[in-house]
A and B are shown apart, each in its own frame.
Chain A
Amino acid sequence: MRPLIFFIRLFYWFSLRQIRQHPWRAVTVLVGVALGAAVFASVRIAVHASLDSFTRSMDLVTGRADHTITRPGGRVPEDLIAPLLQNPSVQAASPFLSTYTRTREGSRPFLLIGLDPILDRPLRDWQAREENDLDPNWVRLLSEPGTLIIGSDLARTEGWTAGRTLTLVHRQGAAAFTVLGQLTAEGLGLTENGRVAITDIATFQEFTGTHGGVDRIDLVLKTTHADRLSALQTVLPAGTYLQGPGEAKRGGRNMIRSYALNLSILSFAALFVGMFLVYSLVALNAASRRREVAILRSLGASSRVVFWLFMAEGAFYGLVGWLMALPLGIVLARFLLEGVSRTISSLFVRVNVAGMTLSPLEIFFSLGVTLGVAVLAAIQPAREAMGIAPKEVMAEGTAARGGGYRIRHLAVAGLLCVLSVVPLAGMPGYRSIPLPGYLATLLLFVGFALMAPWALQGAGRRFQPLLRRRAGLPAHLAAGYIQDSGSRTAVSVGALVTAVALFTALVIMVQSFRHTVEIWVHQTISGDLFVTTRMAEINRTWEPFPEGVEDYLKGLPDVALVPNRRFTLSYGGFPFQLEAMDFDTFDRYGAFFWLEGDGRRLTDPLDAGEGVIVSEVFANRTGLGVGDRFRTEVQGISLDWPILGIVRDYRTRGGVVFCSLDDLRQRSGGMAWGGVRIFFRERFMARGDAVVALQDDLRLRFGDRLEMLPGKDLRAAVLKIFDETFAITTVLLIIALVVAALGITTTLTVLVLERARELNTVYAVGGSLKQIRKMILWEAVFMVAVGEIGGLLCGFVLSYLLVFVINRQSFGWTFLYGVDWGALAFSLPLIVATALMAALPAMRVVYRSPPATLLRER
């Protein structure tokens, strides 16, 4: 105990007082660490809020069911319930239906659940509040058709109260519902944070036109013995399956999880740049306090004590930076929450996030990571301090700076790090987490940072004579100083390299990505009007068109139709869409974005049902490629096709398989259309009022039963989602740059303070303050130039990693690599300007302390 107390006291005397003497150095480092930690923590909080909300909703909806019966691509027949209830293995069975719906007036969508209030009792908890009649509300659900009980969030945000009549829309058109009351805050009532309503199964089927079928039947079994389970499976009709209840949850969770990891690693970049700051300050203190360390050692302090003193200094920056990050992180998380949950909803699974929960685990995790990063950054300087020999107390001056020998060694180590990126880039990821890719990124940054001192030395040496002739003495002196300023300047340059590299790489990636998506949107999402049944897209179930729609559409003049039918299925646990379509007509007006296979030669075989094409994501996720066979089952029909080609598709994180609608119709004995894209035969009509006129016509005829979106609106919406997704990235990026600029500020200021004597000598022999300031500016120019060039090089390698390794492994898609030189050329001078601004405080320091006071220092 006593050694620990003494150590804390010594840390206070030796380290904290030193920090207090130079508060601004510490504050810059702390702000850098705090920004990094805040970004890291807030991104995690925001993603985890979505993950929690999703998991909770799934759990609430699952209730106590231990098994569930589903029918891929179709509905489970309702009359299965009666035999199931009589089955000796079954303790309880309850049908379940759910769909997103909204009011005709256009409220935000909410989840409507249809169930049998009596059969459901053993499976799920829910209760209605405000029982004012003789009959409880759940009985009235049964006895009064067209009634529902709403969750608390609907009551609060929409202002709906008992007795209120709502008009809700779905595939069958609009229907009137009466609100009976409100659900209590328990069980199903908490699903989607209370943005939910419950209705009787009969009302639900009437409303959605799903008579006789249910989404699934949830079961509580008396036994989970394997023999009994397979016996139960045999009594089920073909095409229906008995599953564990977690299937859907697991798929969704895995997708959000890998997104969470990818985003946390991206946000870690800011913390990583902060690590450079901690390193530079601890290294500075270790170097400038050599003599004091030697005194400590001469008084009998062990080298271990010295090591831990500097480690504790690193930990101090980590801890205090993290504390400063807390309020900032919470503000930032609020800001990110909305964007992150929208991205997850549009790319993965629908989530409704009401608020953030600060789990203690997350808080400790962010503390652990921040502290870990800071301590890690301190190790090297602490080890260096530990090596200071006690005999240095006898020496008159301070020790010489690191020689060229070490600089070359570092550069070779750096080069090796960079080269190791090549084999790593070729390694496969682990369950959609591109671990080798991330490791490669880390090594890339470390490698470039290690080469920074060598590059500075080289640049200084090379340009010194030229600068002398062209830019005068101050530039010449600056070049000389930069040459042997050693690791101290190199660290800030390393931080700048990292930030510029991130910036360059992300600019290239986002631009490449956007460019590719634009091409895809215009080729593949072609069409003048997209028509589906109401609420199909948001529910990701595409029911057949209501009665009469298909025939009416076929009779329209002037248009070509590309009908389709889509199903949400799963392939070995990986969710994907099967889209049956008319290839022949589509080919005349649009095109796939081919990666493998020849589009022109494939149209006929595809139309004839001789095979299918799959999206890149599907191919990367399942490992299937051209020539492999694709097998699945839809509504009890087994399908088996060879894969003929691979196309790009950025619709969802899941994959897509395209097959022939004609072929599917023949195999299934009738397959109604679930959606259609309409092309005007005369292209000029598409630009005129014809689209609007057609929309009005369909609306008049089929009322609320159809969802219609003009092609250009759909394309704009897709691009908007894309931009929103990357808005988060941009925020993270800017913060990393700010942290790097802080690094330059600290370094330059410290360099000036350290050289107070030297600068004063320059002054004493006749240099003007202006010349000294110019010299410092030139030093900044050197650091920024080397950082910028190194960052660009590193950024190009990184962008390649991002596009072809990390995106491929974590999202399954790649895109056309292209460099938008315009965007780079526009943004890089901004970085240069920012970095040079960072030199201002250092130049002011020169101003502030007149030469006479400089003489007195130390």
Chain B
Amino acid sequence: MSLSTTTPIVDARDLTRIYPLGDSEVVGLNRVSLTIAPGELVVLKGNSGSGKSTLLSLLAGLDEPSAGTLTVAGYDLLNVSESEKNSYRREVVGMIFQAFNLLPTMTVMENVCLPALLAGKACAPTADRARELLDWLDMDTRRDHRPAQLSGGEMQRTAIARALINDPALILADEPTGNLDSRNGGRVIELLQELNRRWRRTVIIATHSNLADPCATHQVCLKDGAINDSTCAP
């Protein structure tokens, strides 16, 4: 895939995830092999049910593969302890969801600071960093609002700030525009692109829309849980 000589940030071999479903099984991901170099913006495409979310949750350390190997940023995700996995989730990846997944009892500011505080960082510098991020996302006036008081676009921008608070090496976005109108969706994609171009972050966006296509440095297409380059073309 990538011809760069640097060590890849993501290195997956024969990655498989099978969901047991009663007596039968559902194949979520089928022998996927993939390497991604640092600094890329990968768009993961495929129809609904093709395995995008399954792949992302494996990359995010939220779920365990049934078979294969997976190394992300030096973490061998099949052989890490529970506490290493916690710190991996806190500091190595930042995740953005379709449903935003903000904590409803906390303000924007608190939601953004949470991963840093969980990582044991001091309060004051964390708050400074959070304010910086929120300013950059045009959210500076909404810092003390609760998620229920925000629009969808604002919620997603809060989630982006939260994903960035620990300066993760890898940013994963699962259908980040799925719950947004096209204007707000475009804005989110622009921000992710800026992250990649300006701040040299590796970004993986899973989506079935074409919104992110223009900014991709790389496209991966999934069909029925397997990589299938021919389906990518519309």
Q: Which residues of A contact B (CB under 8 A)?
A: 2-3, 6, 9-10, 13-14, 17-18, 21, 291-292, 295-303, 305, 389-391, 393-394
Contacts and interface: CB of A to CB of B under 8 A. Distances in A.
Contact of B106 (A14, A301, A305): A14
Contact of A393 (B97, B104, B117): B97
Interface stretch (B5-13, B36-44, B57-65): B57-65
A779 to B, nearest CB: 28
A292 B103 contact: yes
Given A13-B110, A394-B174, A300 B115 contact: yes
Contact of B62 (A6, A303, A393): A393
A584 B229 CA distance: 113
Interface string B65-89: 0000000000000000011001111
B220 to A, nearest CB: 19
Nearest to B91: A300
A2 B120 contact: yes
A847 B19 CA distance: 44
A394 B120 CA distance: 26
A821 B3 CA distance: 89
A6 B86 contact: no
A297 B115 CA distance: 10
A6 B120 contact: yes
Interface string B123-138: 0000000000000000
B119 A302 contact: no
Contacts of A299: 89-90, 114-115, 118, 162
A14 B87 CA distance: 20
Contacts of B60: 298
Contacts of A17: 105-106
A300 B118 contact: yes
Please indicate which of the listed interface residues B83, B101, B102 has the most CB atoms of chain A within 10 Å of its own CB: B101
B231 to A, nearest CB: 23
Nearest to A7: B117
A287 to B, nearest CB: 16
B105 A391 contact: no
Contacts of B104: 292
B101 A295 contact: yes
Given A14-B103, A17-B105, A391 B120 contact: no
Contacts of B120: 2-3, 6
Contacts of A391: 57, 62-63
B122 interface: yes
A801 B89 CA distance: 55
Contact of B101 (A6, A21, A300, A393): A393
Task: List the 5 closest A-B pairs by CB distance, nearest first.
Answer: A300-B90, A17-B105, A300-B89, A391-B62, A391-B63
A202 B61 CA distance: 94
A301 to B, nearest CB: 5
Contacts of A295: 101-103
B50 interface: no
A784 to B, nearest CB: 34
B72 to A, nearest CB: 14
B86 A302 contact: yes
A215 B119 CA distance: 76
Contact of B105 (A3, A6, A13, A394): A13
Nearest to A13: B106
B172 to A, nearest CB: 11
B30 interface: no
Nearest to A3: B120
A395 to B, nearest CB: 10
Contacts of A10: 114, 117
Given A296-B114, A302-B83, A303-B82, 16 more contacts: A3-B120, A6-B117, A6-B120, A13-B105, A14-B103, A21-B105, A298-B89, A298-B95, A300-B88, A300-B89, A300-B119, A390-B61, A390-B62, A391-B57, A393-B97, A393-B101
Nearest to B163: A299
A469 B24 CA distance: 40
Nearest to A6: B117
B174 A300 contact: no
